[in-house]
Amino acid sequence: MKRLISLALCLLLALGALSGCTSSTPSTPAAPEAGGMTAGTYTATVPGMHGPLSVEVTVTADAIEDVQVTSHVETPAVGDWAVELMPAAIVEHQSTGVDAVSGVTITSGAILRAVEDCLTQAGADLEAFRAYTAPVLEDAEYTADVIIVGGGGAGMSAAITAIENGASVILVEKMGFVGGNSVVSGGIYNAPDPSKQDNPENSFGDTDAIVEELLAQEPVSDLHAEMLETVRAEYEAYKKTDKVLFDSPTFFALQSWNGGDKVGDLAMMKIMCDNSLEGLKWYESMGMEFHPQITLASGSLYPRTHRAVMPNGSGYFKAFQDRLAQEPAESYTELLDTKAVGLIMDGDKVVGVNAEGKGGQKVTLKANNGVILATGGFAGNVELRQEYCEGEKWPDLGPNVVTSNMAGVTGDGIFFARDAGAKLVNMDQIQLLHICNPNTGATYDIVSVELFVNQEGKRFVREDGRRDEMSKAIIAQTGSIMYSIFSADFTPDPNTAKSLGGITLQTLLDTPGSGYFVADTLEELAEKLDMPADELIATVEHFNACVEGTAEDTEFGRRAYQGKKIITAPFYACTRAPAVHHTMGGVLIDADCRAIKEDGTPVPGLYCAGEITGVLHGANRIGGNAIVDFTVFGRIAGESAAKAK
Ligand code: ADP
């Protein structure tokens, strides 16, 4: 495969499969005339995104010979792009005036500052090294069987599958790297998987009560009745075995649909859940690793969550990129820093995409078979979320409410699809995630989600409940925040225990303003949190009794536990708050991922997958279902577009 950043668009001239690429003027290296540096290797350390970032710069008398980022604590799979691309760009252009990687400006800026520090130590004329003329890129036109807009999980899944179905693919991504929200997600994947769930060491609390409650429901449609009957028969069969946990794809689908208040489409949910395990195995077949232990991720409702070994969503992207790297350029081309601005129509048929490069040059993309929109949701777009959803459920979705979303995820494709005739559904359904950093909305710094207490040291919600219920409950607490409490029982060594994003607990504790606290006793922890110690101690004791099975959570109704008590020092607390996280509404699609019009017919040539679609999750997206969604429907979209279904 060929990955191209905007600076390298001209290289497309060499790609025979692509038509109409025009040349560009090469950039002008700064070539500082001042010289006069003392040759040698210099080091500097500056504050980065989450901690110190160090560089080593080797110079001759008049040139930057080498730049290495020697250590950093940047956001995994996001900051890594700047760490990979910036040093090479600085050396290539002999300049600290080069552009930041789009979407990774803080890390890019830290690298530039650290390099300038080294150049200053070497006695350089900094102004001369800052001179940089960006390359002038000219308009270009390309053709492929399938054009994909958006390089998140849905776009990448679709790309691989379209190629496997014989199509050539061009994927455009507006940021300087692929990943989208998918790469900064928790990386969690729900799938019933008896091979991991039937482990006698697992102890998840009273899960039978969860199944029985679901089975007691009155059916509301023929499909619902049929699926309830299936689960009833499966559950009866399970009770005759000595299996640790009941689960099945149909139960998973019914639970997910109920968890979205039955607003989503049950048939589509069934497709997702029926294909969930196959999707997991698809990743494993591409070399991706998951932890052997099944967990109950926060907001996931049942212990069927698989956790990726690599931080956040980076494992999925490594798998995607390793797989796509095997493809020749005529099969797969990635255009980074290229923003789609609209669809090209031939009558009512979608035949391509109009895009813009970083330098403002026009990029015209023509599709032989179809266009897949995989641009994600709009949780990062304050105006849209206020327009569609602010009201009864979420009184305030304005700029003061942080988001967990990446900057590029602003709902663009939803409106391209609407303008091409597609129907939008459930646009008023927005999810807040309850376990985010109160200042940044980030989720990479979560270590544990076992026990939630308010400022008064009391529980206020069931921790195994729905994300919207937990978020609403937090908003109602003092300061609209909560503390997640855990102990050495979960993370024996803070130097090796890592957050979702792979940052060590010790680093988080050492970072001012991270919201993390540690103490040797619960009394001391309560003091640090300015909370009544007797309340916190009573809360932890009751939690421990529930884990043991000697008490029940009659107040909030929690049923599922991870089987670990909070007894061993040190004790930790982490401040958390809700952030706007996922938009459940979007483009109406059918089972082939074709975009559907108001009259029920497909928009010819247009396919959608992932968070851009609006039909699946209903009023609340279950934790751990987003990656299953982009995997299953991304693959379906890839096949459908390749075959021009
Ligand atoms: P999903 O989970 O559905 O794949 P993500 O949020 O992970 O959604 O990815 C969506 C991707 O689409 C992001 O990388 C985002 O930068 C990209 N994107 C959004 N709008 C555009 C656009 N107009 N042109 C190109 N890429 C876009």
Structurally, the chain folds into a number of domains equal to: 3
Q: What is the mean pLDDT of residues 605-621?
A: 97
On whether both 524 and 472 belong to a single domain, the answer is yes
Domain contains 33: yes
**What value does the CA radius of gyration of the chain take, rounded to a whole number of Å?**
26
- 114 has a pLDDT exceeding 70: yes
Give the residue, 500 or 12, on which the prediction is more confident. Answer: 500
Confidence of residue 4 (pLDDT cuts 50, 70, 90): low
pLDDT value, residue 511: 86
Q: Does residue 640 sit in helix, strand or coil?
A: helix
Distance of CA 348 from the midpoint of ligand 1 (Å): 24
Which residue has tokens 């919201």? 515
Name the token pair of 554.
Answer: 């009659």
DSSP 325-394: TTS-TTTEEEETTEEEEEEEEETTEEEEEEEEETTS-EEEEEEEEEEEE-----TT-HHHHHHHHBTTTB
Atom of ligand 1 nearest to the CA of 611: 3
Confidence of residue 378 (pLDDT cuts 50, 70, 90): very high
pLDDT value, residue 572: 97
Give the residue, 16 or 47, on which the prediction is more confident. Answer: 47
Which residue has tokens 């040539």? 605
Percent of the chain with pLDDT over 70: 95
On whether both 88 and 194 belong to a single domain, the answer is no
Distance of CA 461 from the midpoint of ligand 1 (Å): 34
* Cα distance between residue 333 and residue 11, in whole Å: 11
The CATH number for 575's domain is 3.90.700.10
- 419 has a pLDDT exceeding 60: yes
Q: What is the mean pLDDT of residues 194-223?
A: 89
Condensed to tens digits (0 to 9), the pLDDT of residues 530-587 reads 999 999 999 999 999 999 999 999 999 998 888 889 999 999 999 999 999 999 999 9
List ligand 1's pocket residues with C-beta within 6 A.
149-155, 172-175, 180-182, 339-340, 374-376, 408-409, 412-413, 610-612, 630
Q: What is the mean pLDDT of residues 281-303?
A: 93
On whether both 453 and 423 belong to a single domain, the answer is no
Confidence of residue 35 (pLDDT cuts 50, 70, 90): low
Confidence of residue 24 (pLDDT cuts 50, 70, 90): very low
Condensed to tens digits (0 to 9), the pLDDT of residues 144-192 reads 999 999 999 999 999 999 999 999 999 999 999 999 999 988 899 999 9
pLDDT value, residue 9: 35
* Cα distance between residue 430 and residue 443, in whole Å: 17
pLDDT value, residue 146: 98
Q: Which of 173, 406, 582 has most ligand 1 atoms within 8 Å of CB, for mutation?
A: 173
Atom of ligand 1 nearest to the CA of 157: 4
Distance of CA 627 from the midpoint of ligand 1 (Å): 14
- 453 has a pLDDT exceeding 80: yes
- 17 has a pLDDT exceeding 70: no
Atom of ligand 1 nearest to the CA of 612: 3
In 180-335, at which residue ranges do the beta strands (DSSP E only) sit? 188-190, 305-307, 332-335
Domain contains 138: no
Provide the β-strand partners of residue 595.
589
Distance of CA 606 from the midpoint of ligand 1 (Å): 16
Provide the β-strand partners of residue 140.
363
On whether both 457 and 597 belong to a single domain, the answer is no
Condensed to tens digits (0 to 9), the pLDDT of residues 87-101 reads 999 999 999 999 999
Distance of CA 203 from the midpoint of ligand 1 (Å): 38
Give the residue, 635 or 389, on which the prediction is more confident. Answer: 635
- 11 has a pLDDT exceeding 70: no
Confidence of residue 14 (pLDDT cuts 50, 70, 90): very low
The CATH number for 64's domain is 3.90.1010.20
Condensed to tens digits (0 to 9), the pLDDT of residues 51-84 reads 789 999 999 999 999 999 999 988 878 898 999 9
- 5 has a pLDDT exceeding 70: no
On whether both 488 and 540 belong to a single domain, the answer is yes
Domain contains 395: no
Confidence of residue 6 (pLDDT cuts 50, 70, 90): very low
Phi, psi of 275 (to 5 degrees): -100, 5
Which residue has tokens 């989600």? 449
Distance of CA 569 from the midpoint of ligand 1 (Å): 43
On whether both 476 and 618 belong to a single domain, the answer is no
Which has the minimum average pLDDT: 27-31, 211-215, 597-601?
27-31
Condensed to tens digits (0 to 9), the pLDDT of residues 193-205 reads 999 988 877 777 7
- 16 has a pLDDT exceeding 90: no
Q: What is the mean pLDDT of residues 35-47?
A: 92
Please name the residue whose Cα sits nearest to atom 8 of ligand 1: 376
Distance of CA 642 from the midpoint of ligand 1 (Å): 20
Confidence of residue 326 (pLDDT cuts 50, 70, 90): very high
* Residue 176 · residue 400 · CB < 8 Å: no
- 32 has a pLDDT exceeding 70: no
On whether both 288 and 312 belong to a single domain, the answer is yes
On whether both 270 and 306 belong to a single domain, the answer is yes
Which has the minimum average pLDDT: 24-28, 257-261, 326-330?
24-28
Q: Which of 184, 375, 580, 636 has most ligand 1 atoms within 8 Å of CB, for mutation?
A: 375
On whether both 289 and 421 belong to a single domain, the answer is yes
The domain boundary, picked from 130, 159, 191, lies at 130
Domain contains 331: no
Host domain of residue 39: 27-130
Q: Does residue 575 sit in helix, strand or coil?
A: strand
* Cα distance between residue 339 and residue 332, in whole Å: 18
* Residue 582 · residue 377 · CB < 8 Å: yes
Q: Which helix (H) or strand (E) holds 145?
A: strand 140-149
The CATH number for 208's domain is 3.50.50.60
Domain contains 610: yes
Domain contains 169: no
Domain contains 80: yes
pLDDT value, residue 402: 92
Percent of the chain with pLDDT over 90: 78
Please name the residue whose Cα sits nearest to atom 23 of ligand 1: 340
- 306 has a pLDDT exceeding 90: yes
The domain boundary, picked from 580, 601, 621, lies at 580
Confidence of residue 28 (pLDDT cuts 50, 70, 90): very low
Q: What is the mean pLDDT of residues 380-404?
A: 91
Q: Which of 409, 416, 607 has most ligand 1 atoms within 8 Å of CB, for mutation?
A: 409
pLDDT value, residue 1: 55
On whether both 303 and 190 belong to a single domain, the answer is yes
On whether both 313 and 234 belong to a single domain, the answer is yes
The domain boundary, picked from 536, 565, 580, lies at 580
Is 307 one of the catalytic residues? no
Confidence of residue 391 (pLDDT cuts 50, 70, 90): confident
Atom of ligand 1 nearest to the CA of 180: 14
Domain contains 6: no
For strands 362-373 and 332-335, give the pairing. unpaired
* Residue 10 · residue 34 · CB < 8 Å: no
Confidence of residue 252 (pLDDT cuts 50, 70, 90): very high
pLDDT value, residue 442: 87
* Cα distance between residue 239 and residue 121, in whole Å: 72
Please name the residue whose Cα sits nearest to atom 27 of ligand 1: 150
pLDDT value, residue 23: 30
- Going 435 to 440 to 444 to 448, the CA torsion angle's sign is negative
pLDDT value, residue 408: 77
pLDDT value, residue 597: 98
pLDDT value, residue 7: 35
Residue positions counted in the chain: 645
Q: Which residues contact 84 (CB under 8 A, 6 or more apart)?
A: none
Candidates 307, 462, 467, 594; catalytic one = 467
On whether both 444 and 307 belong to a single domain, the answer is no
pLDDT value, residue 322: 96
Atom of ligand 1 nearest to the CA of 185: 7
Atom of ligand 1 nearest to the CA of 609: 3
Kindly report the number of other CB atoms within 10 A of residue 621's CB atom: 29
Name the token pair of 70.
Answer: 């020697």
- 338 has a pLDDT exceeding 90: yes
